[in-house]
Structure 1
Amino acid sequence: MTNTTTRSASKLDQLEVLLMRKDGANIAEMVTATGWQAHSVRGVMAGALKKRGLTIISEKIDGVRRYRAGKSA
């Protein structure tokens, strides 16, 4: 018998998708997507997402800090 159920994306998966976009995401977008507080989002970027092999890039564009991610080599 084949298991046809699919797992919904975890909050970590959602953050990874946001960060992999061309323009990345700001903290407010990540807070809205996860329901977490801003300090929790920052902690996940510093810990769990780096453990997934992502390099987090922070840039300030027009006065707004945006974060992007790329795969580590």
Structure 2
Amino acid sequence: MTKTKKPEGIETIAMPSKPQQILDMLRRKGGTTVNELSTFANWLPHSTRAYLTGLKKKGHVIDSDKVDGVRRYRISSSPEA
């Protein structure tokens, strides 16, 4: 068996994990909606809300506001802070 060598000059770029991307969405200035999170993660809305509950249990403070009839969620405090 021969090992293939990565061509020089090509670097591997690590993509953020799905949980990290969800946290990033929640940290945006305007927050995010369940629909946006569900679409991104390919989850059903009830699974997305359950994930938000799990984040709360881990120490994240998640605020929600209803803007123009749409509920938006955002992180106001994280356990790392």
**TM-score tier (shorter):** 0.7 to 0.9
Higher helix share: 1
Rounded to whole Å, the distance in 2 between the matches of 1:33 and 1:46 is: 18
* Structure label with greater radius of gyration: 2
Unaligned runs of 5+ in 2: 1-10
Deviation at 1:7, TM superposition (A): 4.4
Partner residue in 2 for 1:17: 24
- The answer to whether the aligner puts 1:37 opposite 2:44 as a matched pair is yes
What TM-score do you get using the length of structure 2 for normalisation? 0.72
Rounded to whole Å, the distance in 2 between the matches of 1:33 and 1:71 is: 22
Q: How many residues align?
A: 68
Instruction: Tell me the amino acid that sits aligned with residue 32 of structure 2.
Output: A
What TM-score do you get using the length of structure 1 for normalisation? 0.79
- The answer to whether the aligner puts 1:59 opposite 2:49 as a matched pair is no
Give 3-state SS (helix, strand or coil) of 1:32's partner: helix
Instruction: Tell me the amino acid that sits aligned with residue 73 of structure 2.
Output: Y
Partner residue in 2 for 1:70: 76
- What CA RMSD, in Å, does the superposition of the two structures yield over aligned residues? 1.7
Unaligned runs of 5+ in 1: none
Give CA deviations for 1:1-26 in whole Å, capped at 9, x if unaligned.
xxx75643222112101100000001
Percent identical: 46
Give 3-state SS (helix, strand or coil) of 2:76's partner: strand
